[in-house]
A = this chain, B = another copy of it.
């Protein structure tokens, strides 16, 4: 948690941006796993963390832009709570620690805020919060998203997009844990080991040194599947293992890294060729990132790098700029170059990606590939973003494009079919946009092809 002035100042800035109205910031509750009292690790709502800092269930924050007051609603502990869960600070003590003066029992929320009140709220993403807002505001759950406040979304996107030094320090703590996770995976990636054993071990590292993983770990030999959460296979020599994993700091800032490791320690020539293209794409992107450029322009530049190199390998053909304009590269890199990162690994994704990643200048594009680009807008100093180019050979997609005659002018399908058992390669770093360019956050995880495999041979 930061100093209480940080939260007071953030709430005041938000109030100033909003001008008037009552702003509702529900905290998260414990999420049941297989029955009510058997819960997942508690994860506070990121907006609540940003504005009220308190990392425990059962709280509701109200920022009143009419009166200038803030209030926290929640319940104090009973003696039974103390026996089972220990002595905790009172609600008013908690409130003071984040600069809030007014507190009240949770039920008083229904007195303070009621049906028809001019309340700003964000699109809810947890069903229990939807039910609470329905009860509070009289808006049926199915209509809540439609009634979410665009003013509140825009104000918070503007504030949270730019990270201050203390936030960057938190992200670097998460990066340090991410480094430990990836190096552990590299050491374990020997033939015969179960994917699950490695995935579990590195998730344990995330729990041991921070708030757990920032997102469900992707760790698989089947890297052609972009978000593969199965870890049920035994590692086979000669295959590639993709690890896309990151940690949260104890303050719940994220890291998000991807490395691709040759099982058995050595890349084949064919693997090395593709690996080096992705590495070149990653390094080129970091060199291009600076304030004032749009991330869409960098994404498209990287698409050109990839297309040029894939032409060299005989996988693509034709004019590079035309191929990229047609989205032909997206057969091999169907996703975007990266996304915002902060308190959420896809920062503020619950506000609606379109409001976070785009602005008036950079309109969203419907084309396959760029449709998955989560971040297109002009970069500013203080943005923390991911840089994660990748190349994949997805049999179902290759056959679909072949059969539906998509981009036949730019793809050599005969050549692509030689890679159907290849899998995929992705390389991802976390980047801070600085005054003049970019800085890779954290100590850079081994990425040169010689290094990446060598750790398992030691």
Contact = CB atoms under 8 A, between A and B. Distances in A.
Contact of A204 (B43, B46, B200, B229): B200
B350 A36 contact: yes
Interface string A196-219: 111111111111110010011000
Contacts of A200: 204-209, 212
Given A79-B397, A204-B204, A230 B86 contact: yes
A423 to B, nearest CB: 12
B32 A125 contact: yes
A87 interface: yes
Interface stretch (A96-104, A127-135, A318-326, A441-449): A127-135
B38 A31 contact: no
A34 interface: yes
A82 B397 CA distance: 9
Contact of A79 (B40, B85, B125, B396): B396
Interface stretch (A106-114, A257-265, A275-283, A341-349): A341-349
Interface residues of A, number: 64
A293 interface: no
Interface in A381-420: 394, 396-397, 400
Interface string A241-280: 0000000000000000000000000000000000000000
Contacts of A345: 38
Nearest to A46: B34
Given A346-B38, A350-B34, A85 B227 contact: yes
A216 B350 CA distance: 26
Q: Which of A28, A37, A126, A127 has the most CB of B within 10 A?
A: A127
Contacts of A84: 225-227
Given A33-B40, A83-B334, A196-B207, 11 more contacts: A31-B31, A35-B344, A38-B216, A40-B40, A41-B216, A82-B397, A83-B225, A196-B208, A196-B209, A200-B205, A201-B204
Interface of A: 28, 31-41, 43, 45-46, 79, 82-87, 125-128, 130-131, 141, 196-209, 212, 215-216, 222, 225-230, 334, 343-346, 349-350, 394, 396-397, 400
The 5 closest A-B pairs by CB, nearest first: A204-B204, A200-B208, A200-B207, A127-B127, A86-B225
29 contacts: A33-B40, A34-B43, A34-B46, A34-B343, A35-B344, A37-B346, A37-B349, A38-B215, A38-B216, A40-B40, A40-B216, A79-B396, A82-B396, A83-B226, A83-B334, A83-B396, A85-B225, A85-B228, A86-B225, A127-B130, A131-B141, A196-B207, A197-B209, A200-B206, A200-B207, A200-B212, A201-B207, A203-B203, A204-B208
